[in-house]
Amino acid sequence: MKVGVIGAGGVSRFHLAGYAAAGAQVVAIADAHAETLERVQAQWRVPRGYADFHALCADPEIEAVSVCLPNALHHPATIAAARAGKHVLCEKPVSMSLSEAHDMIRACREAGVVLQVGHHLRSNPAAEKARQLIESGELGRVTFVRLRQAHDWGGQEPRASFRTLASAGGGTLLDNGSHMMDLARYFGGPVREVFARMATLGYDVEVEDTSVVTLEFASGALGSVENAWTATGWEEAFWVYGTRGALEYTNRLGRPTMRHVFRSSPGTDWNEQDVATYQFAGLEPHSRNVLEFLEAVRGERRVICSGEDGLEAVRLILASYRSARERRPVEVSEVT
Protein backbone atom coordinates (compact mmCIF):
# COMPACT_ATOMS: atom_id res chain seq x y z
CA MET A 1 0.00 0.00 0.00
CA LYS A 2 1.20 3.55 -0.74
CA VAL A 3 0.65 6.08 2.02
CA GLY A 4 1.36 9.71 2.95
CA VAL A 5 2.21 11.31 6.28
CA ILE A 6 0.87 14.81 6.96
CA GLY A 7 3.01 16.58 9.59
CA ALA A 8 6.66 15.61 10.15
CA GLY A 9 7.01 16.60 13.83
CA GLY A 10 7.48 14.58 17.01
CA VAL A 11 4.82 11.90 16.53
CA SER A 12 5.43 11.29 12.82
CA ARG A 13 8.39 8.97 13.45
CA PHE A 14 6.06 6.47 15.13
CA HIS A 15 3.82 6.45 12.06
CA LEU A 16 6.81 6.17 9.72
CA ALA A 17 8.17 3.25 11.78
CA GLY A 18 4.73 1.61 11.80
CA TYR A 19 4.36 1.82 8.03
CA ALA A 20 7.90 0.44 7.61
CA ALA A 21 7.05 -2.47 9.94
CA ALA A 22 3.87 -3.12 7.94
CA GLY A 23 5.70 -3.12 4.63
CA ALA A 24 3.69 -0.12 3.38
CA GLN A 25 5.51 2.47 1.31
CA VAL A 26 5.44 6.10 2.48
CA VAL A 27 5.63 7.94 -0.85
CA ALA A 28 5.10 11.50 0.44
CA ILE A 29 5.31 13.67 3.54
CA ALA A 30 3.83 17.15 4.00
CA ASP A 31 5.12 19.75 6.42
CA ALA A 32 4.97 23.54 6.32
CA HIS A 33 8.44 23.82 7.90
CA ALA A 34 10.93 23.31 5.03
CA GLU A 35 13.87 22.20 7.18
CA THR A 36 11.79 19.62 9.08
CA LEU A 37 10.36 18.30 5.83
CA GLU A 38 13.78 17.93 4.24
CA ARG A 39 15.31 16.23 7.31
CA VAL A 40 12.50 13.71 7.82
CA GLN A 41 12.20 12.99 4.11
CA ALA A 42 15.93 12.24 3.92
CA GLN A 43 15.97 10.20 7.12
CA TRP A 44 13.12 7.94 5.98
CA ARG A 45 13.95 8.06 2.24
CA VAL A 46 10.54 9.39 1.28
CA PRO A 47 10.46 10.32 -2.43
CA ARG A 48 8.08 13.31 -2.39
CA GLY A 49 7.71 16.25 0.00
CA TYR A 50 4.95 18.86 0.03
CA ALA A 51 4.75 22.15 1.92
CA ASP A 52 0.96 22.10 1.68
CA PHE A 53 -1.09 19.11 2.86
CA HIS A 54 -3.71 19.79 0.16
CA ALA A 55 -1.05 18.97 -2.45
CA LEU A 56 -0.30 15.65 -0.69
CA CYS A 57 -4.02 14.86 -0.65
CA ALA A 58 -4.15 15.47 -4.42
CA ASP A 59 -1.34 12.91 -4.99
CA PRO A 60 -3.12 10.15 -6.92
CA GLU A 61 -0.72 7.39 -5.84
CA ILE A 62 -1.62 7.73 -2.16
CA GLU A 63 -4.35 5.46 -0.72
CA ALA A 64 -4.14 6.37 2.96
CA VAL A 65 -2.71 9.12 5.15
CA SER A 66 -1.66 9.72 8.73
CA VAL A 67 -2.63 13.14 10.07
CA CYS A 68 0.15 14.16 12.49
CA LEU A 69 -0.53 17.90 12.62
CA PRO A 70 -1.24 20.08 15.68
CA ASN A 71 -4.74 19.49 17.10
CA ALA A 72 -6.22 22.62 15.47
CA LEU A 73 -5.44 21.20 12.00
CA HIS A 74 -6.85 17.66 12.41
CA HIS A 75 -10.21 18.84 11.09
CA PRO A 76 -9.16 20.55 7.82
CA ALA A 77 -6.57 17.88 6.99
CA THR A 78 -8.95 14.95 7.61
CA ILE A 79 -11.70 16.61 5.55
CA ALA A 80 -9.25 17.30 2.69
CA ALA A 81 -7.95 13.71 2.76
CA ALA A 82 -11.43 12.16 2.90
CA ARG A 83 -12.67 14.32 0.00
CA ALA A 84 -9.66 13.12 -2.00
CA GLY A 85 -10.68 9.49 -1.23
CA LYS A 86 -7.83 8.71 1.20
CA HIS A 87 -8.27 6.54 4.30
CA VAL A 88 -7.30 8.50 7.44
CA LEU A 89 -5.40 7.62 10.60
CA CYS A 90 -5.83 10.88 12.55
CA GLU A 91 -3.78 11.56 15.65
CA LYS A 92 -5.53 12.21 18.95
CA PRO A 93 -7.43 14.12 20.13
CA VAL A 94 -9.58 13.67 17.04
CA SER A 95 -10.60 17.34 17.25
CA MET A 96 -10.96 20.31 19.57
CA SER A 97 -14.80 20.32 19.44
CA LEU A 98 -17.64 17.86 18.95
CA SER A 99 -18.89 19.65 15.84
CA GLU A 100 -15.48 19.29 14.16
CA ALA A 101 -15.44 15.57 15.03
CA HIS A 102 -18.97 15.13 13.61
CA ASP A 103 -17.82 16.82 10.36
CA MET A 104 -14.80 14.53 10.10
CA ILE A 105 -16.87 11.38 10.71
CA ARG A 106 -19.44 12.50 8.13
CA ALA A 107 -16.80 13.37 5.50
CA CYS A 108 -15.13 9.95 5.88
CA ARG A 109 -18.46 8.12 5.81
CA GLU A 110 -19.58 10.00 2.66
CA ALA A 111 -16.26 9.26 0.96
CA GLY A 112 -16.40 5.60 1.99
CA VAL A 113 -12.97 5.76 3.66
CA VAL A 114 -11.78 4.43 7.02
CA LEU A 115 -11.29 6.92 9.85
CA GLN A 116 -9.17 5.63 12.74
CA VAL A 117 -8.21 7.84 15.69
CA GLY A 118 -4.67 7.37 17.02
CA HIS A 119 -5.52 6.36 20.57
CA HIS A 120 -2.69 3.86 20.24
CA LEU A 121 -2.93 2.67 23.84
CA ARG A 122 -5.76 0.39 22.72
CA SER A 123 -2.99 -1.35 20.76
CA ASN A 124 -0.84 -1.71 23.87
CA PRO A 125 -0.80 -5.49 24.50
CA ALA A 126 -1.36 -4.87 28.22
CA ALA A 127 -4.55 -2.92 27.47
CA GLU A 128 -5.62 -5.64 25.02
CA LYS A 129 -5.06 -8.34 27.68
CA ALA A 130 -6.83 -6.24 30.33
CA ARG A 131 -9.84 -5.84 28.05
CA GLN A 132 -9.92 -9.62 27.41
CA LEU A 133 -9.84 -10.32 31.17
CA ILE A 134 -12.64 -7.80 31.75
CA GLU A 135 -14.81 -9.02 28.84
CA SER A 136 -14.39 -12.70 29.75
CA GLY A 137 -15.74 -12.00 33.25
CA GLU A 138 -12.46 -13.15 34.81
CA LEU A 139 -12.27 -9.92 36.83
CA GLY A 140 -15.90 -10.01 37.95
CA ARG A 141 -17.88 -6.76 37.88
CA VAL A 142 -15.62 -3.71 37.35
CA THR A 143 -15.78 -1.37 40.37
CA PHE A 144 -12.86 1.03 39.84
CA VAL A 145 -10.70 2.20 36.93
CA ARG A 146 -7.71 4.47 37.53
CA LEU A 147 -5.57 5.71 34.65
CA ARG A 148 -2.40 7.76 34.57
CA GLN A 149 -0.20 9.23 31.85
CA ALA A 150 2.43 11.63 33.12
CA HIS A 151 5.81 12.93 31.97
CA ASP A 152 8.06 15.99 31.97
CA TRP A 153 8.74 16.38 28.24
CA GLY A 154 11.98 14.47 28.73
CA GLY A 155 13.28 17.28 30.94
CA GLN A 156 12.74 19.82 28.11
CA GLU A 157 10.08 22.49 27.59
CA PRO A 158 6.72 21.55 26.00
CA ARG A 159 6.91 21.69 22.17
CA ALA A 160 5.62 24.99 20.73
CA SER A 161 2.46 23.50 19.19
CA PHE A 162 1.36 22.21 22.63
CA ARG A 163 1.73 25.51 24.52
CA THR A 164 -1.19 27.61 23.27
CA LEU A 165 -4.96 27.23 23.27
CA ALA A 166 -5.13 28.22 19.59
CA SER A 167 -2.85 25.38 18.46
CA ALA A 168 -3.53 22.66 21.03
CA GLY A 169 -6.96 23.50 22.52
CA GLY A 170 -5.78 22.39 25.97
CA GLY A 171 -2.85 21.03 27.96
CA THR A 172 -2.11 17.72 29.60
CA LEU A 173 -5.80 17.00 30.23
CA LEU A 174 -6.56 17.06 26.48
CA ASP A 175 -3.18 15.78 25.30
CA ASN A 176 -2.59 12.85 27.67
CA GLY A 177 -6.08 12.82 29.17
CA SER A 178 -7.81 12.06 25.87
CA HIS A 179 -5.88 8.76 25.74
CA MET A 180 -6.91 8.03 29.34
CA MET A 181 -10.57 8.89 28.70
CA ASP A 182 -10.52 6.55 25.73
CA LEU A 183 -9.10 3.73 27.86
CA ALA A 184 -11.58 4.52 30.65
CA ARG A 185 -14.41 3.84 28.19
CA TYR A 186 -12.57 0.81 26.78
CA PHE A 187 -12.30 -0.77 30.24
CA GLY A 188 -15.33 0.61 32.10
CA GLY A 189 -17.93 1.47 29.45
CA PRO A 190 -19.77 4.79 29.18
CA VAL A 191 -19.02 7.52 31.75
CA ARG A 192 -21.96 9.37 33.35
CA GLU A 193 -20.30 12.17 35.32
CA VAL A 194 -16.89 13.83 35.79
CA PHE A 195 -15.40 16.14 38.40
CA ALA A 196 -12.09 17.77 37.44
CA ARG A 197 -9.35 19.96 38.88
CA MET A 198 -6.46 21.36 36.88
CA ALA A 199 -3.61 23.82 37.27
CA THR A 200 -0.57 25.27 35.52
CA LEU A 201 2.28 24.74 37.94
CA GLY A 202 5.51 23.84 36.14
CA TYR A 203 5.76 25.76 32.86
CA ASP A 204 5.06 29.22 31.47
CA VAL A 205 2.32 27.99 29.09
CA GLU A 206 -1.25 29.04 28.33
CA VAL A 207 -2.65 25.57 29.07
CA GLU A 208 -2.87 23.31 32.16
CA ASP A 209 0.11 21.08 32.96
CA THR A 210 -1.37 19.06 35.85
CA SER A 211 -4.87 17.60 36.15
CA VAL A 212 -7.03 15.06 37.95
CA VAL A 213 -10.55 13.94 37.05
CA THR A 214 -12.82 11.64 39.01
CA LEU A 215 -15.28 9.56 36.99
CA GLU A 216 -18.61 7.91 37.64
CA PHE A 217 -19.40 5.28 35.02
CA ALA A 218 -22.94 4.51 33.84
CA SER A 219 -22.48 1.10 35.54
CA GLY A 220 -21.99 2.86 38.90
CA ALA A 221 -18.25 2.05 38.96
CA LEU A 222 -15.89 4.86 39.97
CA GLY A 223 -12.57 5.92 38.54
CA SER A 224 -9.94 8.58 38.10
CA VAL A 225 -7.78 10.02 35.34
CA GLU A 226 -4.46 11.57 36.37
CA ASN A 227 -2.27 13.55 33.98
CA ALA A 228 0.78 15.71 34.31
CA TRP A 229 3.57 17.33 32.39
CA THR A 230 5.11 17.97 35.83
CA ALA A 231 6.04 14.37 36.61
CA THR A 232 9.74 13.50 36.51
CA GLY A 233 10.36 10.91 33.81
CA TRP A 234 7.53 9.05 32.16
CA GLU A 235 4.66 6.93 33.40
CA GLU A 236 1.79 5.15 31.78
CA ALA A 237 -0.26 3.15 34.25
CA PHE A 238 -3.68 1.74 34.95
CA TRP A 239 -5.44 -0.07 37.74
CA VAL A 240 -8.73 -1.94 37.21
CA TYR A 241 -10.50 -3.44 40.21
CA GLY A 242 -13.26 -6.00 39.79
CA THR A 243 -15.25 -8.03 42.27
CA ARG A 244 -13.03 -11.08 41.53
CA GLY A 245 -9.61 -9.63 40.83
CA ALA A 246 -7.45 -6.60 40.14
CA LEU A 247 -5.15 -5.50 37.32
CA GLU A 248 -2.17 -3.25 37.87
CA TYR A 249 -0.03 -2.02 34.98
CA THR A 250 2.87 0.39 34.85
CA ASN A 251 5.81 1.17 32.59
CA ARG A 252 7.51 3.16 35.38
CA LEU A 253 11.25 2.54 35.92
CA GLY A 254 11.53 -0.80 34.22
CA ARG A 255 10.02 -3.19 31.73
CA PRO A 256 6.27 -2.54 31.29
CA THR A 257 4.52 -5.07 33.51
CA MET A 258 0.90 -5.97 34.23
CA ARG A 259 -0.08 -7.96 37.30
CA HIS A 260 -3.36 -9.79 37.66
CA VAL A 261 -4.02 -10.23 41.38
CA PHE A 262 -6.70 -12.72 42.43
CA ARG A 263 -7.66 -15.25 45.10
CA SER A 264 -8.07 -18.84 44.02
CA SER A 265 -5.77 -20.63 46.45
CA PRO A 266 -7.21 -21.58 49.85
CA GLY A 267 -5.63 -19.85 52.85
CA THR A 268 -4.52 -16.60 51.20
CA ASP A 269 -4.86 -13.54 53.42
CA TRP A 270 -4.25 -9.75 53.60
CA ASN A 271 -0.60 -10.18 52.66
CA GLU A 272 -0.74 -13.03 50.19
CA GLN A 273 -2.65 -13.39 46.96
CA ASP A 274 -2.27 -15.28 43.70
CA VAL A 275 -0.53 -13.15 41.07
CA ALA A 276 -0.13 -13.65 37.31
CA THR A 277 2.52 -11.35 35.86
CA TYR A 278 2.44 -10.35 32.19
CA GLN A 279 5.23 -8.88 30.11
CA PHE A 280 4.81 -8.47 26.39
CA ALA A 281 7.16 -8.75 23.44
CA GLY A 282 7.02 -7.46 19.89
CA LEU A 283 6.20 -4.21 18.19
CA GLU A 284 5.57 -1.12 20.30
CA PRO A 285 1.94 0.10 20.47
CA HIS A 286 2.18 2.99 17.95
CA SER A 287 3.43 0.59 15.27
CA ARG A 288 0.78 -1.99 16.18
CA ASN A 289 -1.82 0.79 15.85
CA VAL A 290 -0.59 1.58 12.31
CA LEU A 291 -0.69 -2.13 11.41
CA GLU A 292 -4.25 -2.35 12.69
CA PHE A 293 -5.19 0.73 10.63
CA LEU A 294 -3.90 -0.95 7.46
CA GLU A 295 -5.77 -4.15 8.35
CA ALA A 296 -8.98 -2.10 8.70
CA VAL A 297 -8.32 -0.43 5.32
CA ARG A 298 -7.97 -3.89 3.76
CA GLY A 299 -11.25 -4.92 5.41
CA GLU A 300 -9.53 -7.52 7.60
CA ARG A 301 -10.72 -6.13 10.96
CA ARG A 302 -12.96 -3.55 12.63
CA VAL A 303 -11.39 -0.12 13.18
CA ILE A 304 -9.81 -0.37 16.63
CA CYS A 305 -10.67 3.23 17.56
CA SER A 306 -13.33 4.86 15.39
CA GLY A 307 -14.15 8.53 14.82
CA GLU A 308 -17.09 8.05 17.21
CA ASP A 309 -14.73 6.67 19.89
CA GLY A 310 -12.46 9.69 19.38
CA LEU A 311 -15.48 11.99 19.66
CA GLU A 312 -16.56 10.39 22.95
CA ALA A 313 -13.07 10.90 24.42
CA VAL A 314 -13.26 14.58 23.42
CA ARG A 315 -16.73 14.83 24.99
CA LEU A 316 -15.31 13.55 28.31
CA ILE A 317 -12.46 16.07 28.12
CA LEU A 318 -14.83 18.97 27.33
CA ALA A 319 -17.03 17.90 30.28
CA SER A 320 -13.89 17.87 32.45
CA TYR A 321 -12.89 21.38 31.34
CA ARG A 322 -16.39 22.61 32.17
CA SER A 323 -16.20 20.91 35.55
CA ALA A 324 -12.81 22.50 36.37
CA ARG A 325 -13.99 25.93 35.20
CA GLU A 326 -17.30 25.83 37.07
CA ARG A 327 -15.92 23.85 40.04
CA ARG A 328 -18.76 21.32 40.00
CA PRO A 329 -19.49 17.77 38.90
CA VAL A 330 -20.67 17.74 35.26
CA GLU A 331 -22.99 15.17 33.69
CA VAL A 332 -21.37 14.06 30.44
CA SER A 333 -24.75 14.38 28.67
CA GLU A 334 -24.57 18.17 29.26
CA VAL A 335 -21.88 18.37 26.55
CA THR A 336 -23.59 18.14 23.17
Ligand X SMILES: NC(=O)c1ccc[n+]([C@@H]2O[C@H](COP(=O)([O-])OP(=O)(O)OC[C@H]3O[C@@H](n4cnc5c(N)ncnc54)[C@H](O)[C@@H]3O)[C@@H](O)[C@H]2O)c1
CA 104 to CA 126: how far, in whole Å?
A: 30
**Closest separation between CB of residue 35 and ligand X, Å?**
9
Residue whose Cβ sits closest to ligand X: 9
- Work out whether 91 is an interface residue with ligand X (CB under 6 A): yes
**Closest separation between CB of residue 177 and ligand X, Å?**
11
Q: Closer CB to ligand X, residue 18 or residue 188?
A: 18
CA 95 to CA 309: how far, in whole Å?
A: 12
Backbone φ/ψ region at 239: left (φ over 0), alpha (ψ -120 to 50), beta: beta
Q: Closer CB to ligand X, residue 91 or residue 292?
A: 91
**Closest separation between CB of residue 241 and ligand X, Å?**
26
Task: Show contacts with ligand X in window 226-255 (CB under 6 A).
Answer: none
Element (H, E) at 51: none
- Work out whether 120 is an interface residue with ligand X (CB under 6 A): yes
Q: What is the largest CA-CA distance in the chain?
A: 68
**Closest separation between CB of residue 332 and ligand X, Å?**
22
CA 172 to CA 175: how far, in whole Å?
A: 5
Task: Show contacts with ligand X in window 9-28 (CB under 6 A).
Answer: 9-12
Among 3, 8, 115, 304, binds ligand X (CB under 6 A): 8
Among 64, 69, 89, 231, binds ligand X (CB under 6 A): 69
For residue 155, count other CB atoms closer than 10 A to its CB: 8
Among 4, 7, 170, 177, binds ligand X (CB under 6 A): 7
Among 25, 161, 219, 250, binds ligand X (CB under 6 A): 161
- Work out whether 73 is an interface residue with ligand X (CB under 6 A): yes
Bridge-based pairing of strands 64-67 and 87-90 is: parallel
Q: Closer CB to ligand X, residue 4 or residue 245?
A: 4
| Under 8 Å between Cβ of 256 and 238 | no
| Under 8 Å between Cβ of 79 and 102 | no
Amino acid identity of 76? P
Task: Show contacts with ligand X in window 30-49 (CB under 6 A).
Answer: 30-33, 36
Total residues binding ligand X (CB under 6 A)? 24
Task: Show contacts with ligand X in window 175-204 (CB under 6 A).
Answer: 175
Give all strands (DSSP E) within the chain, no chain letters: 2-6, 25-30, 48-50, 64-67, 87-90, 115-117, 142-151, 191-199, 210-217, 222-228, 234-242, 245-250, 257-262, 274-278, 330-331
- Work out whether 53 is an interface residue with ligand X (CB under 6 A): yes
Element (H, E) at 61: none
Residues that bind ligand X (CB under 6 A): 7-12, 30-33, 36, 53, 68-71, 73, 91-92, 118, 120, 159, 161, 175
